[in-house]
Amino acid sequence: MNLGNPGVDFVPQLVDADPKDGYWIQAVDVDGDGRLDLVTSGLTTGRVSWYRNPSAPNGPWRKHHIADLDKPVALDCGDIAGDGRADIVICHDYGSCMFDCGEHDGKISWLRNPGSFTGGEQWEQYPIGDLVATHRLALGHFTGSAESELVALPVVGPAGGAQGVDQPVEVSLYQKPADVLGREPWPRTVLNDTDFRIVHGVVVDRFTGTPYPGRDSLLLACEEGIQWFGPGGDGTWHRRPVHPGAPLQPPPAGMQRPFKGSGNLTVGRLGDNQCGYIAAIEPFHGNTLVVYTRRPTSDGPAGGAWQRTVLAVFGDPETPGHAVGHHIVAADFDGDGNDEFLVALRGPAPWQGVLYYKIDVRDGSVAQCTSATVSTHSAARIAVGDFTGDGRLDFATTGYYTAGYYLAKDPRIMLFLNEFGKPLFTSPPRAVNG
């Protein structure tokens, strides 16, 4: 395996020099003008904001205040109200941390897009439900319903805190009520409460080779490794192991609990092969970058024998148990029909910024790997999309600024414009949110 430089060129552009927070970032067309905007949130100030994509090149990104919540963690965007606008589902009131959250910590709400963006309009908040330590959310069409549905994934079990860390989480499906503008919680179905612990990463897609390839299903990164989870042919939800991930490792200095499995993941396409590879950061809050490969198969993400290859081991974080690598996302940046992937490193330097990886897979193994540093700014998460309308995929980052975990120096929201890839598509722009 040859590790070299793939020769990429992303041009940085400042979006916000002083966001005062940093955890989540997502690309979505908020105002319906055909250009991708940015939605951000963080656990320190609790402010949820969106940034309007300027019509002029290098123009300023205007910041709009959406809401103030207690410790918002994850969000997703979609039309909840049924008016064609991009609303937000968000989990909040998380508690101090996963080791110190009570059984009553964890709320899910949705924020209605007002459709008017002249000033500082805050979005109206509606309840969805209470679910302990909800850490990831995914909108999709999972059951065949015409309406979008929400899967909520806690990071710990229902007891919360230290006891909940060792409990299976309650993976839950929320379906929209008839009166979505009402104040009652949404109907909830517990899909699984026996098999998954410490869920920290999720990929939603319509995977070929699954019982319902026309419906959305999930790939999860959790203590059990990488797992496919989705509706089965018998009407119930099924779990299929993909790989156990990292073996049990000794606990980091200063911590009592060891971790294993997987912490975050992305799926890379290679030509017509939807699941050409899986790249992951392991284990939970780990510092090991791995890629999974297999021979081409039509059996879905859980089929075939996946081979695990370690690409890099990043430096240990300043605080034991807190991830240096926090997010990973795959997309075809150079336009050659094969996906590359980006790794978000929170810091401090030298383990800070965004790394770009391109791999060559032959006969189910990694034959070659090239990498480049494409940002040196702290990155908690990455949002990918065509922000300029030129058919090439760009990316944006938010710095990691979360009290009690890690406070990056000089956190910023940054945009990186693709100046090297071949155009892939025409308008409307596409967002790739890991």
pLDDT in tens, 5-42: 677 899 999 999 999 999 999 999 999 999 999 999 99
User: For residue 426, is pLDDT > 60?
Assistant: no
**Percentage of the chain surpassing pLDDT 90?**
69
* Number of residues that this document lists for the chain: 434
Beta pairing partners, 173: 151, 189
Residue 260 — pLDDT band, cuts 50, 70, 90? very high
As a whole number, mean pLDDT of residues 190-204 equals 96
As a whole number, mean pLDDT of residues 168-173 equals 97
Residue 286 — pLDDT band, cuts 50, 70, 90? confident
User: For residue 102, is pLDDT > 70?
Assistant: no
Residue 308 — pLDDT band, cuts 50, 70, 90? very high
Q: Which of 23-32, 165-174, 191-200, 255-264 has the lowest mean pLDDT?
A: 255-264
Structural contact between residues 167 and 110, judged by C-beta atoms closer than 8 angstroms:
no
193 to 109, 156, 220: CA distances (angstroms): 22, 11, 14
User: For residue 252, is pLDDT > 70?
Assistant: no
109-161 pLDDT, tens per residue? 999 999 988 767 789 999 999 998 899 999 999 998 989 999 999 998 888 87
Q: Which of 267-276, 357-366, 402-411 has the lowest mean pLDDT?
A: 402-411
Q: Give the H/E segment covering residue 164.
A: helix 161-165
User: For residue 227, is pLDDT > 90?
Assistant: yes
Between the two ends of the chain, the Cα-to-Cα distance in Å is 27
Taking the CA atoms of 73, 131, 199 and 274 in sequence, report the sign of the dihedral they define: negative
User: Which residues, including other chains, have CB under 8 Å from residue 56's CB and lie 6 or more apart?
Assistant: none
Sequence ranges of the domains in the chain: 198-376
User: For residue 430, is pLDDT > 90?
Assistant: no
Structural contact between residues 407 and 372, judged by C-beta atoms closer than 8 angstroms:
no
pLDDT of amino acid 344 = 96
**Which segments of 319-430 does DSSP mark as H helices, in order?**
none
401-422 pLDDT, tens per residue? 888 778 889 899 999 999 999 9
Distance, CA of 335 to CA of 391 (rounded, Å): 9
Amino acid at 237: W
